[in-house]
Structure 1
């Protein structure tokens, strides 16, 4: 009688001849030939870089910080991701495609930036540029894991400065305001507070006017009574930026 080999024994015999007849090689052997996830991306990014990021000009006017500049990549990257910061806070980012410069074999491009709400004084503008590649199908490879090319600039927002001087003239207080810096012409703004001898206070609201203003400053009824008057002055320049507030106080009835 013929003996019939079991499937397991047959597979053992043929294992060196035909692996597929026994259900294929073990999963760990197949996995050794597969490319780990991210290897292809990492290999591409290792060939890409941003070689230069520059600024053509940047400034702040009327509370709007704006500027423009250039960037250049290595031959393996045809675009760039630019991330913009003001005083360490990210304000915007741009993904940009470049133009090929055949003379030197690189891609070049330009960037632009604009952000409102810039306060008075000095600010730090910072750019980080990462390499990017866009293939013919529009697929992007952005290498944010690469060390970026960076640019840092100090930008000043010029603001107006207000000053105030007042003097007593009989029973009134005559005040003159002045302004400098920022963008003229200026709109003078005034506010008055009176602190009465009986402990009550009357505070007005800001109102526009000229650079000179007079306020009544009379003595209350009693000889030992007095009122204190406080005058506040500021200006708003032509771009809408306010100056500091200057202050003068006086005693009426002394």
Structure 2
């Protein structure tokens, strides 16, 4: 009586032995490279910081904002990551190499009113192979409020004058020109910045108002 060939069974046995000898990759072993990388980054970033982050100037004109400043990182770092937030919204980010330098931000479409520009910075390490490490645990920030002028302005009380001193008569008879509308008052809105007018307050007194 002939026996069935043993080759398939032998292959199964060898496969089982190989799996037992080599073993499968466990979840903990898969995580080791990530943990090792995190430890390496932590060691690389130890003691690093952004030593300087400052504004040199910031302004707006006709809806366009421009701001600039300087940065510097501590010894051991050789680059910086910068992020620019306008009214708490991230608008731009960049990386600059070196141990110190300048930054610049511009944005169009700025509405009238007061806005806050926030700059955040993190030290970085770039090795000889070009690998970049950002030290997220060591941020520094600087902010500045910037105002875009709204169309028109507000009335500002400038001076008082006596019509009797000016014209030797009642203000109701004669008063300086141009005359203000009766609605003009301190803090009220006006349409044309630079406008000046006079408002009769009484028979003897007029007040001068600037639109600023």
Which bracket does the TM-score occupy, shorter chain normalised?
0.5 to 0.7
**C-alpha contact 2:71 2:101 (8 A) present in aligned 1:** yes
- Residue 148 of structure 1, aligned match among 139, 151, 164: 139
Residues 1:160 and 2:151 aligned together:
yes
179 and 97 in structure 1: CA distance in 2 versus 1, 3 angstrom threshold: same
Q: Which residue of 1 aligns with 2:108?
A: 116
CA shift, 1:97, in A, is: 0.6
Who is 1:42 aligned against? Answer: 42
Stretches of 4+ aligned residues off by more than 6 angstroms: none
Q: Which has the higher helix share?
A: 2
Instruction: In structure 2, list runs of 5 or more residues that go unmatched.
Output: 1-20, 155-179, 182-189, 195-212
Query: Counterpart of 2:73?
Result: 73
Structure 1 residue 178: Cα displacement: 4.7
**Offset, 1:162:** 6.6
> Which secondary structure does the structure 1 equivalent of 2:43 belong to?
helix
TM-score, length-normalised on structure 1? 0.48
Q: What per-residue deviation string (whole Å, max 9, x for no partner) do you get for residues 138-181 of structure 1? A: 2111122x131110101011122179x99xxxxxxxxxx95117
Query: Alignment RMSD, CA only?
Result: 3.0
Q: Following superposition of structure 1 onto structure 2, how do residues 19-30 of structure 1 map, counting pairs within 5 Å? A: none
Q: Which residue of the partner structure matches residue 193 of structure 2? A: 180
2:152, 2:74 → 1: CA distance? 48
What TM-score comes out, normalization by structure 2 length? Answer: 0.56
- Partners in 2 of 1:178 and 1:150 — Cα distance? 39
Number of aligned residue pairs: give it: 138
Matches within 5 A, 1:54-73: 54-73=54-73
Report if aligned partners of 2:53, 2:141 keep a CA contact under 8 Å in 1. yes
Structure with more of its chain in strand, by fraction: 1
Please give the residue correspondences for 1:211-226 in structure 2 after superposition, counting only pairs within 5 Å. Answer: none
Measured at CA, do residues 138 and 36 of structure 1 come closer, stay the same or move farther in structure 2, by a change above 3 Å?
closer
Which ranges in structure 1 are unaligned for 5 or more consecutive residues? 1-22, 99-106, 167-176, 182-254
Q: Secondary structure at the match of 1:180?
A: coil
